[in-house]
Amino acid sequence: MKLLPFLALSVAVATPAFAQETRQLDSHEHGVGQLDIAFDGTKIAMELHAPGADIVGFEYAAESSEDRAAIDAAVAMLAKPLDLFVLTDAAGCSVVKASAGLESEESHDDHGDEHADEEDGHDDHDEEDHEEHASEAGHTEFHAEYLLTCADPTAVTEITFAYFETFPNALEVEVQLISDTGATSFEVERAAPTLDLRGMF
């Protein structure tokens, strides 16, 4: 699991089993994403994994310019964490770092920065190979990592998941949260898109 350095440290200290619970590409459920959140001083690290079908409506490798455009647009949206996961205003949070990309089951590599390359230099043979690999791979997954800094992280009493409005195919996000009080699991559903964190700090 690719974690931001301090998130990895927080995870190791809080619960060694945390990393082992991360959803693997071949076992994800359509409609269900995973969000890991770690509070560390004034910083908040977040890591999102979401099935391709949840984000762009398909899980095969991009086969057309429309598919690639959809993926590029999704990556751009996923790179704006405070638009997707709205934190309490009083916390005064801002984005330090945000990255997003697409991973395939086939390679487990992050292709977020390769979409521009894919659009150029693809000949017909490459497209045929790509389609064969897509049918073999079966699943794609979007992966995003965020690092936020907040004036007062303890003022984060709730997180509103505008993520569900942005991605209509997403139905649920399983959340693992680590803070000074330990690790806690939540399930946030489209029908109730607000995560209540009162009493967590």
- The single-letter code of the amino acid at 133 is H
**In the block, which residue shows the tokens 């071949």?**
26
Q: Is the pLDDT of residue 162 over 50?
A: yes
Q: How many Å is the Cα radius of gyration of the chain?
A: 17
Distance CA(55)–CA(169), nearest Å, equals: 7
Which helix (H) or strand (E) segment holds residue 94: the answer is strand 93-104
Q: Is the pLDDT of residue 40 over 90?
A: yes
| Angle subtended at Cα 112 by Cα 122 and Cα 135, rounded to the nearest 5 degrees | 60
Percent of the chain's residues with pLDDT above 70:
69
Q: What sign results for the dihedral spanned by CA atoms 5, 7, 13, 18?
A: negative
Q: What is the pLDDT of residues 42-73, one digit of tens each?
A: 999 999 999 999 999 998 888 899 999 999 99
